[in-house]
């Protein structure tokens, strides 16, 4: 893995306001690029907005489509990889909660949320693929919010070569400090157990549907320790420099890198 500067974004993303949300996404991506980031992570469903009723179907788009065309054009122009979320329509009746990776080389990858929270199950279809991707000298996996509570998923991505796990959230309720404390109960473990960086960010602000999102972004090192975090009640951007030497230090330590000693013959 090469040393990597990443940007984590807190975005206010009202449901259904796709054009305004996309414009904000592009503006914040440009700011991240100006600050030297090679990859920028946006929250879950930041472009179409997050809701758990059937109104989300009216703003879902196919992939590829107009949204991803715009993201790819911006990614190549700014030379930055953009990780952004949207409701995806696949066929007449199937909706996915999807996070796309618009790579700076013009290629497009996608991750469909695998583990749907109970309120989401009546709206979305669960994804079926665990993949890792590569860009700018590192490999990464994407998970979405509720996904991060299932340890096996992080391990599968780490075994697939991921150096970084990007985990965008649309997680309502609590204060920013309470939400960060809650996240660190499991995000630190995902990083430490698998020897990977974990980067996460949340939507921010109150929506007309009554959901209020505490603004939180955090970067966790492969040693399980917090590198940096951001707590805010408005749109903001956190820049983090990921030290490739720290990753090497953990993975070269015979007692602190656990994956090579995993008993995959048993489970």
Angle at 44 between CA 150 and CA 53, to 5 degrees: 95
> pTM of the prediction?
0.96
Tens digit of each residue's pLDDT (9 = 90 or more) over 146-170: 999 999 999 999 999 999 999 999 9
Q: What is the pLDDT of residue 136?
A: 86
**DSSP run (H or E) holding 218:** strand 215-220
Tens digit of each residue's pLDDT (9 = 90 or more) over 17-51: 999 999 999 999 999 999 999 999 999 999 999 98
Residues 6+ apart with CB under 8 A from 230: 8, 10, 215, 216, 217, 218, 236, 238
Residue 244 Ramachandran class (φ > 0 left, ψ -120 to 50 alpha, else beta): alpha
Contact 6, 37 (CB under 8 A): yes
More confident residue, 83 or 207: 83
Domains and CATH numbers, the chain: 4-256 (3.60.110.10)
Res 261 pLDDT > 90: yes
**DSSP run (H or E) holding 134:** strand 133-135
Structure tokens at 23: 């414009």
Contact 182, 189 (CB under 8 A): no
Tens digit of each residue's pLDDT (9 = 90 or more) over 61-105: 999 999 999 999 999 999 999 999 999 998 878 999 999 999 999
> How far is it, in rounded angstroms, from Cα 16 to Cα 59?
6
Work out the pLDDT band at 142, boundaries 50, 70, 90.
very high
């Amino acid at each position: 893995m090469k040393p990597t500067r990443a940007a984590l974004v807190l975005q206010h993303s009202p449901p259904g306001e796709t054009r305004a949300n996309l414009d904000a996404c592009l503006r914040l991506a440009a700011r991240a690029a100006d600050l030297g980031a090679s990859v920028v992570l946006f929250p879950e469903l930041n472009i179409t907005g997050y809701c758990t009723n059937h109104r989300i179907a009216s703003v879902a788009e196919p992939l590829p489509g107009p949204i991803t065309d715009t993201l790819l054009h911006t990614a190549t122009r700014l030379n930055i990889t953009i990780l952004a979320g949207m409701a995806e329509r696949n066929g007449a009746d199937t909706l996915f909660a999807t996070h796309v990776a618009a790579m700076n080389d013009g290629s497009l990858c996608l991750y469909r949320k695998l583990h749907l929270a109970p309120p989401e199950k009546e709206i979305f279809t669960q994804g079926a693929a665990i993949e890792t991707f590569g860009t700018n000298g590192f490999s990464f996996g994407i998970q979405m919010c509720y996904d991060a509570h299932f340890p096996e998923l992080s391990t599968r991505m780490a075994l697939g070569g991921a150096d970084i796990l990007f985990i965008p959230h649309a997680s309502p309720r609590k204060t920013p400090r309470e939400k960060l404390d809650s996240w660190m109960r499991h995000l630190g473990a995902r990083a430490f157990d698998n020897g990977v960086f974990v980067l996460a960010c949340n939507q921010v602000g109150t929506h007309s549907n009554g959901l209020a999102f505490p603004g939180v972004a955090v970067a966790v090192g492969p040693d399980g320790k917090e590198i940096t975090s951001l707590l805010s009640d408005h749109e903001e951007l956190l820049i983090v420099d990921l030290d490739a030497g720290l990753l090497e230090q953990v993975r070269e330590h015979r007692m602190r890198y656990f994956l090579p000693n995993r008993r995959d013959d048993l489970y």
